[in-house]
Structure 1
Amino acid sequence: MQTNPVPPPYSSLVAIGDSFTEGMSDLLPNGSYRGWADVLAARMAAGTPGFRYANLAVRGKLIGQIVDEQVDRAAAMNADVVTLVGGLNDTLRPKCDMGRVRGLLTEAVERLAPSCRRLVLMRSPARQGPVLERFRPRMEELFTTVDELAAKHSAVVVDLYGAPALGDPRLWDVDRLHLTAEGHRRVAEAVWQSLGYPPEDAEWHVPMPATAPPAWLHRRTADLRFARQHLLPWIGRRLTGRSSGDGLPAKRPELLPYETPETDEGLHKRALR
C-alpha cells in the first residue's frame, strides 16, 4: 500500500529579500503586511510546536543591500529553512550591471547554503505589460543564474515565473508590482509543496476562470491612475537612487517562536508609501 511521504520536520524559517518577501501588497487591518512568507510560517508552525520564524525583508532593497544587511544575519540564525529572493529590483533600474548582480547573488547563496538544511530560491513572478517587457531579458538572465546556483548548492527553486496563474493581472495590486493576498497565498502554497509538504491546493498554478475584460474607458482610467499614483513616483525613485524602504527596519528581525500577526509584537506596522 502506497503512503504519502512524511514532510521533513522543519522547525525554523528565515526569509530574506525585498518587498516581495516583506509581503506587499497583502495588507492587514493593523497596517502591516502579511505576504507569502507569513502564510508559509503559519502553516509550518501549525504542525510544529516551538516553530521559530524571522523575516528580514525590507521593501526596495537591491541585491547588494540584501547581502550587506541580511545575509550574515540570516546565516547566523542557522535556521532549518532559508528563503532568498533578490535581484529583481536591480534588473528594473535604468542602469544595471548584471555581472555584479550575478556575483552578489552567488556570494549570498555560498554564504547561506552551508548555514541551513534547505535553501529555497525563486524565479520571481512577473505580470505582462509594456513597462516590464523592456526588462524581461535581464530578469531571465537573473533566473538562469538562480537555476545554476541551485544545481550547484542543492537548493530548491520555486518557479513562479513559469506559473500561468501568476501572470494574471487580477492577482496583482493596483501598483502592478506587488501581488494581492490571493497571489501571496498561491506563492506560499508553491513554497510549501517545494519543501515536501502535502498540497493544500494542488492547482495553485492553474489560471483563474476567465472573465469579461473591463471596458475600454475603465482600462484607460485605470492606466492613468496607475501612472500618476505609482509609475511616476517609482520612476522618480529609480532616477534619484531613493528606495521605498529607506529607514524601515526588518519586518521580523529575530528568530522567535511564531505567533499570529494580531499578537506578535515582532511585526512592525508599516506606513504606506
Structure 2
Amino acid sequence: MRTNPTHTSLVAVGDSFTEGMSDLLPDGTYRGWADILAARMAAVAPGFRYANLAVRGKLIRQIVDEQVDAAAAMRADVVTLVGGLNDTLRPKCDMVAVRDLLTEAVERLAPHCKQLVLMRSPARQGPVQERFRPRMEALFTCVDELAERHGALVVDLYGAPSLGDQRLWDVDRLHLTGDGHRRVAEAVWQTLGHPPEDPEWQLPPPASLPPGWTERRVADARFARQYLLPWIGRRLTGRSSGDGLPPKRPELLPYDLR
C-alpha cells in the first residue's frame, strides 16, 4: 500500500450512504463519511477540491444516469462509487441488471480518475441482513471482480465486525450513526494509503447491557411507525426519499475546513 499519497480532489458518487445519513448535524443537514474524509484530505493537500453527487434513495440505474457522467467529467484524483445496495433490498431485484449497470459505471469512471474506490457496503446484523445476504454477497463479488479488472481499490466494510454492530446504526435501521460514518471514513483513509488515525476502527464498541424486552418492543413499534410503514408506502406508490432533492455538493470546489 502506498504511504502519504497526495490527492488534490475527491468526487463521491452514490446514495444515502454517501450523502451521509444518518450523521445528523445541529443545522439538520447530514455530514457522513465522505465529508469527514474530504476534511482529512484537505488538511494535507492545499487547494483540495471536493464534490458529492450522492442523493438518498437512488438505485443503481439512477446513479448511472444522473451521476456517473458528471463525476467522470470532473476528472478528480479520487472517485468513490457505492451503489446497488438499495436495489438488493427491493422485493424484486434483477441482479444481472444490477451487475451490468455497476459494470457500466465502473467502465465509465475508471478512465477519468487517478484512483477509483469501490466498497463492500456495511450491513446491520439482524433478519434483514440474513434475508438479503445472497444478493448482497453477489453484489460484492461483482465489486471485487470489477476492482481487479480496472485497478480500483476496495474498502471491505461488510467484513468489519464494528459496522455490523447494531449500536452503530441509527433508529431507522438503514443508516449508520455518526460513529459509524467516522469509522467508514477511517477505512477509506487507510485504503488510500494514509497512516491510521484509528487503528481499531474495525473493533466493536465496548460491551454494554442489551436492552430489555420492553425497551426492544417500544423500539420496534417506533421503527415500524416512523420508518417501515413510510418506506412501504413509497415502494407501493413508486416514490423515493430522494425525489426532487439536488446532489449534496454538485460542483468540484475548494473544501473549506472552517
TM-score, normalised by the number of residues in structure 1: 0.92
Q: SS in structure 1 opposite 2:223?
A: helix
- What is the one-letter code of the residue matched to 1:96? C
| Partner AA of 1:102 in structure 2 | R
SS at match of 1:253: strand
Structure 2 segments unaligned to the other structure (5+ residues): none
Q: Which runs of 5+ in 1 are unaligned?
A: 264-273
Counterpart among 199, 211, 215 of residue 214 in structure 1: 211
Q: Distance in 2 between matches of 1:140 and 1:233?
A: 27
Q: Paired residue for 1:42?
A: 39
CA contact (8 A) 2:72 2:113 kept: yes
Q: State how far apart, in whole Å, the 2-side matches of 1:81 and 1:217 are.
A: 47
CA distance in 1, matches of 2:217, 2:69: 46
Partner of 2:109: 112
Alignment of 1:24-35 (within 5 A): 24-35=21-32
C-alpha separation in 2, matches of 1:90 and 1:189: 26
- SS of the residue corresponding to residue 103 of structure 2 reads helix
For the 8 Å contact 1:62–1:89, the answer to whether it is kept is yes
Structure 1 residue 131 displacement after superposition: 2.9
Q: Counterparts of 1:151 and 1:227 in 2: how far apart (Å)?
A: 41
**Alignment check: 8 A CA contact 1:175 1:230 kept:** yes
Distance in 2, matches of 1:132 and 1:186, equals 20
Q: CA offset at residue 5 of structure 1?
A: 6.1
Contact 1:15–1:82 under 8 Å retained in 2: yes
- TM-score (structure 2 length as normaliser): 0.98
1:185-204 equivalence runs, <5 A: 185-204=182-201
Which residue does 1:258 correspond to in 2? 255
Q: How big is the shift at 1:234?
A: 1.2
Question: What residue is the counterpart of 2:174 in the other structure?
Answer: 177
**Contact persistence 1:94–1:239 (CA under 8 A):** no
Cα distance change on mapping 1:201 and 1:53 into 2, 3 Å: same
Counterparts of 1:8-87 in structure 2, within 5 Å, are 8-87=5-84
Moved more, 211-220 or 14-23: 211-220
CA separation in 2, counterparts of 1:255 and 1:52? 6
In the TM superposition, residue 6 of structure 1 has moved relative to its aligned partner by: 3.9
- Counterpart AA for 1:206: L
Structure 1 residues 178 and 208: alpha-carbon distance in aligned structure 2, compared to 1, 3 A threshold: same
State the partner residue of 1:134.
Answer: 131
Q: Structure 1: how far apart are the matches of 2:216 and 2:33?
A: 28
- After superposition, the Cα gap between the structure-2 partners of 1:6 and 1:158, relative to the gap in structure 1 and judged at 3 Å, is closer
- 2-structure distance, mates of 1:5, 1:17: 26
2:160 maps to a residue whose letter is: A
Q: CA RMSD in A?
A: 1.2
Query: Within 1, Cα distance between the matches of 2:54 and 2:193?
Result: 24
Matched, 1:125 2:152: no
Report the residue type matching 1:10 in the other structure. H
The more displaced of 219-228 and 51-60 is 219-228
Name the CA distance, whole Å, in 2 between partners of 1:23 and 1:192. Answer: 16
Q: Do 2:38 and 2:50's aligned partners in 1 also have CA atoms closer than 8 Å? A: yes
Percent identical residues: 80
Residues 102, 209 of structure 1: alpha-carbon distance in 2 compared, 3 angstrom cutoff: same
Structure 2: distance between partners of 1:32 and 1:156:
29
- Give the superposition deviation at 1:130: 1.6
Query: Structure 1 residue 148 and structure 2 residue 145: aligned?
Result: yes
Task: Answer whether contact 2:2 2:192 (CA < 8 A) is retained.
Answer: no
